[in-house]
Structure 1
Amino acid sequence: MKPNSLNLRKLFRYLSIRSSLLSSSFSSQTHSIQVVNPQKPIFRSPENADPFINRSGRDSKFKETVDQLCQQKRLKDVIQLLENQVHQPSAALYTTILQLCIENRALDEGRKVHAHIKGSGFVPGPFISNKILDLYCKCGSIPDAQKLFDEMGDRDLCSWNTLISGYAKLGRVLEARKLFDEMPKRDNFSWTAMISAYVKHKQPENALELYRAMQRNEIFMCNKFTVSSALAASAAMQSLRLGKEIHGHIMRTGLDSDAVVWSALLDVYGKCGSLNEARYIFDRTLGKDTVSWTTMIDRYFGDGKWEDGLTLFSDFLSSGIRPNEFTFAGVLNACAHQTAEELGRQVHGHMMRTGFDPLSFAASALVHMYTKCGSVERAHKVFKWLPRPDLVSWTSLINGYAQNGQPHEALKLFDLLLKSGNQPDHITFIGVLSACTHAGLVDKGVEYFHSIKEKHGLSHTADHYACVVDLLSRSGRFREAEDIINKMPIKPDKFLWASLLGGCRIHGNFELAERAAEALFQIEPENAATYVTLANIYATAGKWSEVAEIRKLMDERGVVKKPGMSWIDVKKKVHIFLVGDQSHLRSNEIFEFLGKVSKRMKEEGYVPHTNYVLHDVEEEQKEQNLFYHSEKLAVAFGIISTPPGSPIKVFKNLRTCVDCHTAIKFISSIAERKIIVRDSSRFHCFESGRCSCHDYW
């Protein structure tokens, strides 16, 4: 008989016997229930008796159910089903469930899966063990991860890399480096993970040291992620030399075609102040994405090249690539810094047309831009449109009201903030204290100051102390101000002493003014504002010898007074004026208007504040010096260049002087114009002979 025929006969005989046994089992057995656990009934029937037939069927049904629940993200149901399953799930099922736990950062559920694996007798291989390890690390449970790692009998590279990344994520860089040094072997991911950990946690020197060690090890080739981390370290150190070294390595290894690398190169050149090289990189980047555009635009803004940044943003809009919230926020902050409201409104319109997330911080930047440009009404409209304003939006609007002469509105908004459930931070209280200062609410401001610590559990910052000293000294309560200064747990800074000096100027407190000025001379001897303010105090009292001493001290120290500058935007063109400026094309008309309005002002009771002129000259000359201050020139130009009745908005780089403040009140009444002047500290809204600051600024 042939061998293959013999095999066939044996097979037929086996099938015959098996069929007989199954038939007998079916006829003799009845259905029964075996209770393994009172809450887990397992139904058994005759056809379930043979594992050859239905074990795979049950597993298939269980797997199908688990897969469906996982697709529906019903993790709790999956865990309940797993705990009620008598038979051991397959490795594939454990993998599916663990992946769902990882995606949901479900630490408790992941621990239950891990416990089930241990209790079922299933011996996981490196793949499933690494899944559990990854779950613990991503959920921040390093003790669980370390314990599992120690118990793993079969670790692979993934095991080491996962635990290193877990330690690095939590900032435990020393433990991560210890593991890195203990690794039996490494791959590119190991090196990159450790280098990026150093960068992320502000240890760029260690990152670059490790990067050089990797380069010396010829087994490993740096990839785009490695060199990008090394470039980030160079940018953090602002080391152009190191950045250029890495750039050379990139060119030699052929990594210069990757967009991620180009973006990192752009960042390092930008942060190191080499904007020309950064722009060179940017212009040659192929397939520029939103990140590349935004990075280059922000570099211009960071270097103070606002016009170049805004021009590039315009090019970005024409590129067809959609800006993201980071782009919009950066541009809006630039508009706020430059008080470029018209451009900010255009950006706002573009955001509305293209659609943006009202919950993003770009929305907060929009509120901030309008408040900084003096359009607090528009800022409030945007604020009310936000579904859930964040603390930045609340704080921006509170500060906006405070700086725009509406302190009571600022305080009302602060009360609404508290009722909304949001917790104010130290910046919020700067706006609140400023509102009290501008409204003259001294006792209320002191109450808010003490509530920062006693009611809200925050620590007083140097800014809080500067605000409360400003509040008290402006009202002449110098003894209380000094008491706070003497009891401060931190050293008074320049802002506090400047606030005290400003209060002394208002009330003519020579003794305390000299003390504040001396402290400021120690902190920043190059700041001309201190010398000028002290000289103003002496000049007001007619102490011309002391004024001369101050001027001599400035000459000896090489301190130059910052020239006052005012500007106004008319028909999308910015016009800049200096004191006595006759360079403007319409200067004759400007001076003619001021001459006419000056006569009218005196007829209505205007008296020049000549005691602030720092020269011992004739009274007529003092009046002449005051008459041509830059803000007066800008206001005059605005009136002759715009339609009657339209509002005027002027900006100044210094604090407006008392005489200009008084004069513009008269001009607003005579010209029947609303005149807004933003100086270095706040907005002044002049209308019908009154100012929004109520002469308290």
Structure 2
Amino acid sequence: MKLSPRHLRSLTKCLVPFCSFPPITSSCHPFSSQTQLTPQSFPPRVSFKPGTGNDQEQLINRLCRDNRFVEAIEILCQQKRLKDAVQLVEHRVQRPSVAIYSTLLQFCLRQRALEEGKSVHELIKLSNFVPGIFILNKILDLFCKCGSLEDARKLFDEMRERDLCSWNTLISGYAKTGRIGEARKLFDEMTETDDFSWSAMVSGYVRHNKPADALELFRLMQKNGKLVSNKFTVSSALSAAASIQSLCLGKEIHGHIVRSGWDSDAVVWSALSDMYGKCGSLDEARYVFDRTLERDVVSWTAMIDRYFGDGRWEEGFLLFSDLLKSGIKPNEFTFAGVLNACTQKTIEAIGKQVHGYMMRLGFDPFSFAASALVHMYSKCGNMESAYKVFKWLPRPDLVSWTSLINGFAQNGQPHEALRLFELLLKTGTKPDHVTFMGVLSACTHAGLVDRGLRYFRSIKEQHGLTYTADQYACVIDLLSRAGRFGEAEDIISNMTMKPDKFVWASLLGGCRIHGNLDLAKQAAEALFEIEPENAATYIALANIYATAGEWSEVARIRKMMDEKGVVKKPGMSWIDMKRKTHVFLVGDQSHPRSKEIYDFLGEMSKKMKEEGYVPDTEFVLHDVEEEQKEQNVFYHSEKLAVAFGIISTPPGTPIKVFKNLRTCVDCHTAIKLISKITERKIVIRDSARFHYFEGGSCSCKDYW
């Protein structure tokens, strides 16, 4: 809404001693874009009587408090009309006081009401009132805070008198909106500066990713003996040091803080702790954090996240526990950070505790912490809980949908994942690249090749997305597992980008399944060029040679590994038992209950052979006696972890084991039989997916 000169002239024709107007309806609310300023726009309780200045100010104040800016401004319009017509009526009209203009502008500032503020400015210009620098600075501040910098600069240039506040206001406006060059030019033109001037420039450089310029200006400020930096300046300087990860500069600023007496300020100490954390000096960050007198939820959350980001999981969880004891309520950022840590470490027990606390606290189901909860349960393999949380959300976001789709795909329920994806499309939510990774993964795990290809084509044709390297790798995996190598090669040759290691690794994995030696050599050669230090390529190729009985080639591959210093990543499995993680390697005998574990597996071996179990030694690399091969495969790490879980828990207790590599064929067969013999539900999460073993079968249906 803007009062034009034409509009004001039309209002002047309707002069009356006082005006009464019909009530405002919702359709002509003062902030409505359709609002038209007419005499019929205002409620009957607003009446204007000329010559009562105090009453006018009180009325304007009351209207402003009710956010009825249009009516407040109309009071000034009526006053000006009467003043212009004083020769027609024998009544002296009091000129609006500075307080009236100041009040209106102050409320416009508070509400960021730019158009209403412009109307007040226009009324000032059309009247005979000559505003002082105080009023002009308020208008300038309004323009800057509302982002109307062209109007602000025009007003600044028109001002006959400017004070330090005028310069600082415009510099701050430029700096906050990214016009840092114009801000610096104004700054350099100033004949007098204060702490605010320097702080605005330093923080502006930091905000717009110019940390070196911020630090250079901060040093220049320190050389100016007349100025003492404030807490916002030093906080910005610390942020600059943190962004370039300069611990040395950060410590220099820390020294300046101590000398200047800012070492007791909560804002400064929070920035100081953040600087040490981002510069990798986590212990010093904790030292500062512990000595901060006023720690709010933001500083607690930042410190917890620093521990998680540095891989110091236990300290992060312990600090979160301390936060709960402190009486300060975590916010959604805190919960999301802790849940993401639980997801990365697959620690469902702590995730459940966090979930319980969130429910007691009454957290917002629209927050992204709710999505993190769905993601945590999905990654930990608890799809029942993940789905319950998902259904509880009023409006699940794309992250929640995607987490659930990926979760079902990795947890042996690919058809449920695809059902959810079709439901997602019906809601009108647009899938992204990560969503399609879950869809393609579901098709891969279920062997739905043609359906997977349709989804792959739809990424570009129906949804207008470009293919990613991960999507290419997933569709190559889908085709290679099915033995459709011709189609896989066609896609690789027509890729819009150079095939990466994941594409070639997917092709190599399919060649291992189907024994395609020639194509395996091609894929391996490409991988040797991309990452010659990765032992997985050598092992996969050696396995294919071993299957073909070409032991000389197996020996050649092992010699290559020795010459290049390539070391095979050891298979490792772990199981959480009574808040302690037990880790096992192949043939591991270091566990305190090692004898019991091996005795149990010996008994299992006899019972399994009675069920028809024959050890699968196809991929044992060494050309050794069959009995030695059987021993090599029977004491793989996941078998040891499963055995420990069974002997350590009551009958019927589910067992969950994690492994850093894909589970081998022999372990997969053996654990199916162990689940049947012991009548246990056994869950193995390998590097690719979850396997749910129960009653002698697996959720993957032996397709992995």
TM-score range, shorter chain: 0.7 to 0.9
Match of 1:604 in 2: 611
What is the CA deviation profile of residues 525-553 of structure 1, one whole-angstrom value per residue up to 9, with x for unaligned ones? 32222222222222222222222222222
CA shift at 1:143, angstroms? 3.3
- From 641, 656, 663, the equivalent of 2:663 is 656
Query: Do residues 256 (structure 1) and 263 (structure 2) align?
Result: yes
Match of 1:577 in 2: 584
Letter in 1 for 2:461: E
* Secondary structure of the structure 2 residue equivalent to 1:257: coil
- From 450, 459, 472, the equivalent of 1:452 is 459
Q: CA RMSD in A?
A: 2.7
Letter in 2 for 1:372: K
Counterparts of 1:266 and 1:255, CA distance in 2: 14
- From 40, 50, 63, the equivalent of 1:55 is 50
Instruction: State whether residues 17 and 49 of structure 2, in contact with CA within 8 Å, keep that contact through their aligned partners in structure 1.
Output: no
Identify the range of structure 1 (653-662 vs 621-630) with the bigger mean alpha-carbon deviation.
653-662
Letter in 1 for 2:17: R
Identify the range of structure 1 (218-227 vs 623-632) with the bigger mean alpha-carbon deviation.
218-227
- From 642, 654, 672, the equivalent of 1:665 is 672
- From 64, 74, 92, the equivalent of 1:70 is 64
* Secondary structure of the structure 2 residue equivalent to 1:44: coil
- From 160, 163, 177, the equivalent of 1:153 is 160
CA shift at 1:111, angstroms? 4.1
What is the CA deviation profile of residues 21-42 of structure 1, one whole-angstrom value per residue up to 9, with x for unaligned ones? xxxxxxxxxxxxxx97479843
Counterparts of 1:269 and 1:213, CA distance in 2: 23
1:552–1:102 Cα change, 3 Å? farther
Counterparts of 1:328 and 1:74, CA distance in 2: 41
- From 426, 433, 439, the equivalent of 2:440 is 433
1:246–1:411 Cα change, 3 Å? same
1:85–1:424 Cα change, 3 Å? farther
Matches within 5 A, 1:195-594: 195-594=202-601
Match of 2:149 in 1: 142
Q: How many residues align?
A: 656
CA shift at 1:110, angstroms? 4.3
Match of 1:43 in 2: 16
Counterparts of 2:180 and 2:371, CA distance in 1: 34
* Secondary structure of the structure 1 residue equivalent to 2:358: helix
CA shift at 1:692, angstroms? 1.9
Query: Do residues 167 (structure 1) and 174 (structure 2) align?
Result: yes
CA shift at 1:54, angstroms? 5.2
1:457–1:159 Cα change, 3 Å? farther
Instruction: State whether residues 481 and 510 of structure 2, in contact with CA within 8 Å, keep that contact through their aligned partners in structure 1.
Output: yes
What is the CA deviation profile of residues 156-215 of structure 1, one whole-angstrom value per residue up to 9, with x for unaligned ones? 333333333333333333333333333343222222222222222222222212211211
Identity of aligned residues (%): 72
* Secondary structure of the structure 2 residue equivalent to 1:642: coil
Match of 1:5 in 2: none
Counterparts of 2:410 and 2:330, CA distance in 1: 31
Instruction: State whether residues 224 and 260 of structure 1, in contact with CA within 8 Å, keep that contact through their aligned partners in structure 2.
Output: yes
* Secondary structure of the structure 2 residue equivalent to 1:286: coil
- From 193, 196, 218, the equivalent of 1:189 is 196
* Secondary structure of the structure 2 residue equivalent to 1:181: helix
Instruction: State whether residues 465 and 496 of structure 1, in contact with CA within 8 Å, keep that contact through their aligned partners in structure 2.
Output: yes
Letter in 2 for 1:148: L
Letter in 1 for 2:15: I
Letter in 2 for 1:613: V
Counterparts of 2:429 and 2:57, CA distance in 1: 46
1:560–1:136 Cα change, 3 Å? farther
Match of 1:645 in 2: 652
1:647–1:538 Cα change, 3 Å? same
1:261–1:486 Cα change, 3 Å? same
Counterparts of 2:500 and 2:610, CA distance in 1: 46
Counterparts of 1:623 and 1:60, CA distance in 2: 100
Instruction: State whether residues 469 and 500 of structure 2, in contact with CA within 8 Å, keep that contact through their aligned partners in structure 1.
Output: yes
1:618–1:325 Cα change, 3 Å? same
Letter in 2 for 1:330: G
1:345–1:61 Cα change, 3 Å? same
Counterparts of 1:39 and 1:405, CA distance in 2: 78
Identify the range of structure 1 (396-405 vs 451-460) with the bigger mean alpha-carbon deviation.
451-460
Instruction: State whether residues 40 and 84 of structure 1, in contact with CA within 8 Å, keep that contact through their aligned partners in structure 2.
Output: no
* Secondary structure of the structure 2 residue equivalent to 1:55: coil
CA shift at 1:624, angstroms? 0.8
1:239–1:55 Cα change, 3 Å? same
What is the CA deviation profile of residues 598-632 of structure 1, one whole-angstrom value per residue up to 9, with x for unaligned ones? 22223323332211112111122111111011111
Counterparts of 1:407 and 1:620, CA distance in 2: 38
* Secondary structure of the structure 2 residue equivalent to 1:686: strand
Counterparts of 1:291 and 1:121, CA distance in 2: 51
* Secondary structure of the structure 1 residue equivalent to 2:640: helix
Letter in 1 for 2:662: R
Query: Do residues 180 (structure 1) and 174 (structure 2) align?
Result: no
1:166–1:679 Cα change, 3 Å? farther
* Secondary structure of the structure 2 residue equivalent to 1:612: coil
Counterparts of 2:375 and 2:428, CA distance in 1: 21
CA shift at 1:340, angstroms? 1.0
CA shift at 1:524, angstroms? 2.7
* Secondary structure of the structure 2 residue equivalent to 1:43: coil
Instruction: State whether residues 505 and 527 of structure 2, in contact with CA within 8 Å, keep that contact through their aligned partners in structure 1.
Output: yes
1:566–1:219 Cα change, 3 Å? same
CA shift at 1:320, angstroms? 2.2
Counterparts of 1:146 and 1:663, CA distance in 2: 78
1:80–1:529 Cα change, 3 Å? farther
Letter in 2 for 1:70: C
Match of 1:29 in 2: none
Identify the range of structure 1 (300-309 vs 596-605) with the bigger mean alpha-carbon deviation.
596-605
What is the CA deviation profile of residues 274-316 of structure 1, one whole-angstrom value per residue up to 9, with x for unaligned ones? 2222222222222333233222222211111111111122222
CA shift at 1:651, angstroms? 0.8
Instruction: State whether residues 50 and 79 of structure 2, in contact with CA within 8 Å, keep that contact through their aligned partners in structure 1.
Output: no
1:242–1:126 Cα change, 3 Å? same
Identify the range of structure 1 (562-571 vs 495-504) with the bigger mean alpha-carbon deviation.
495-504
Letter in 1 for 2:50: R
Match of 1:13 in 2: none
Identify the range of structure 1 (148-157 vs 287-296) with the bigger mean alpha-carbon deviation.
148-157
1:353–1:203 Cα change, 3 Å? same
